[in-house]
Structure 1
Amino acid sequence: MIARAIRASMKRQRPIVVWFLGMSGAGKSTLACLLDKELHARGFHTILLDGGNLRLGLNRDLDFSDASRHASIRRGAEVARLMVDAGLIVIALLIFAVSGG
């Protein structure tokens, strides 16, 4: 297995996850897209991990209950970890899991 440090050094960057968590309509996507464009313009290797896009595949079996939202965040975190291991800067935006009542 190739170590994370080797992949990161090849990309000349420190792989990290930048989380944007919040309620729907809070501006997460706007900020995340601006950050992605700026980092790309500076030559960094990024990936935008959008909870909405995850719902089309990995999370398609989940609904909008609190339990499903927690599962969505957990799955998103695992995907982000794998991408960080590949040496990428991950920009993750997910909706908060909120409790009812």
Structure 2
Amino acid sequence: MAISKTLIASLLLSLLVLQLVHALESQSSSNQLSSNSGNVSESKVDCDAACGVRCSATKRPNLCKRACGSCCSKCNCVPPGTFGNYESCPCYASLTTKNQMHKCP
């Protein structure tokens, strides 16, 4: 009985350590991505294709692609999907109009 309690406790402790390591790795990778978002990285994003996907569900695709294209050229990234997901591209999310609304779709 004591061995099984010890085994369970050690397994739980191991899982906790693994979770902490995973959280630290993901935090350091997101810090590296945000530090590279200001400069043009070595891999250039295909803005036309990325914005085509991003604007595929909108009622005004030409307007959406134009706004998305200007944001993509400045940030070299476009969030995945057709809406939201701004956390994957902080530069894209931070661009605003003069009325402090999101510039990028």
TM-score grouping bracket, smaller chain normalisation: under 0.3
Higher relative contact order (CA 8 A, sep 6+): 1
TM-score relative to the length of structure 1 = 0.26
Based on CA coordinates, which of the two structures has the bigger radius of gyration?
Answer: 2
Structure having the larger proportion of residues in strand: 1
